[in-house]
Amino acid sequence: MPRVKRGSNRRERRQKVLRLAKGFRATKSKLYRSAKESVDRALSYAYRDRRTRKRDFRRLWIIRIGAAARTNGMSYSTFIAGLTKANVGLNRKQLSELAIHDAAAFAELVGVSKQALAG
């Protein structure tokens, strides 16, 4: 069986890993084996946390909406239930932005929610 010399392929594959490890400290950015371990771990954390970020933001929006709804005399769950009943198609991100930047418009939405629940 002929001997395979894989000079450029191996070098390119290793350089790709070392480029991904740029900015890591000490051995983790210089030596292939430890760089590969660090890059694999970093990529798995990045994959996981792209999903976690969505959860964290939704939680933040809900906290903001709940606080603004309570200042208008309503709980979060009843506020959302009223909006659903009134067929208001705003998502939680938009509602939290309204709660922060336009309190009057949010108070109007609370009124819409209360009307929908009452009638």
Question: Mean pLDDT throughout 56-63?
Answer: 97
Is the pLDDT at 100 greater than 80? The verdict is yes
pLDDT of residue 57: 97
pLDDT of residue 5: 76
Is the pLDDT at 12 greater than 80? The verdict is yes
Note whether 110 and 75 are within 8 A (CB).
no
Note whether 83 and 112 are within 8 A (CB).
yes
Which tokens is 102 given? 């336009």
Is the pLDDT at 6 greater than 80? The verdict is no
Q: Could you tell me the maximum CA-CA distance found in the chain, to the nearest angstrom?
A: 85
Tokens 């964290």 locate to 56
The pTM (predicted TM-score) of the whole model is 0.77
For residue range 32-53, list pLDDT tens digits in order: 999 999 999 999 999 999 999 9
pLDDT of residue 9: 86
All structural domains of the chain? 8-118 (1.10.1900.20)
pLDDT of residue 1: 80
CA distance 83 to 66: 13
